[in-house]
């Protein structure tokens, strides 16, 4: 293991430890599982996205430290992570199946006054 790898590994462990401590602190409203959850359920896409982000970022750091990072690789890395975010900005929201729409209705009562009858004085 190279010294640069050891430093990166220690940095990643320190970051993960701080996430863990934040997760366990009841006074701090941080939930680590929000990174991989969608609509209250574990998302396969979010998990795959996070794993891919971690692996490709590690590869980019390794290439940078070895002096082998080229412009094409850097642009490909940037496009890989920027393209989904831009696509999400311009995508339309599709309503979920099974949702219901409720409307508030107010009951209006009317009374009819008979104006043909005259009250006697």
Q: DSSP states of 78-93 as a string?
A: HHHHHHHHHHHHHPPP
Give pLDDT, residue 86: 84
CB 102 within 8 A of CB 41: no
Helix %, strand %, coil % for the chain, to 5? Answer: 55, 5, 40
Instruction: Give yes or no for residue 55 having a pLDDT over 80.
Output: yes
The band of 121, judged by pLDDT with boundaries at 50, 70 and 90, is low
Which residue has tokens 């309503």? 95
Share of the chain above pLDDT 70, in %: 76
pTM score: 0.54
Give domain limits for the chain.
1-30, 31-91
The band of 40, judged by pLDDT with boundaries at 50, 70 and 90, is confident
CB within 8 Å of 34: residues ≥ 6 apart: none
Which residue has tokens 């795959």? 48
Give pLDDT, residue 70: 92
Segment 21-47 mean pLDDT: 81
**Beta-strand pair 41-42/37-38:** antiparallel
Give pLDDT, residue 71: 92
Counting Cα atoms < 13 Å in the Cβ hemisphere of 57 gives 10
Instruction: Give yes or no for residue 120 having a pLDDT over 70.
Output: no
Give pLDDT, residue 119: 57
Backbone angles phi, psi at 16, to 5 degrees: -65, -40
Q: Give the model confidence (pLDDT) of 65-107 as tens digits.
A: 889 999 999 999 888 888 877 888 888 776 666 555 555 555 5
């Amino acid at each position: 293991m190279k010294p640069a790898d050891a430093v990166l590994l220690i940095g990643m462990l320190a970051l993960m430890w701080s996430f863990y401590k934040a997760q366990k602190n009841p006074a701090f409203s941080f939930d680590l599982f929000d990174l991989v959850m969608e609509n209250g359920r574990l998302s396969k896409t979010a998990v795959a996205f996070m794993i891919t982000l971690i692996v490709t970022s590690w590869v980019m750091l390794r290439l940078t430290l070895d002096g082998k990072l080229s412009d094409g690789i850097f642009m490909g890395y940037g496009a890989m992570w920027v393209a989904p975010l831009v696509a999400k900005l311009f995508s339309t929201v599709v309503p979920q199946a099974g949702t219901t729409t409720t409307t508030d209705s107010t009951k209006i009562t009317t009374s009819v006054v008979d104006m043909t009858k005259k009250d006697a004085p």
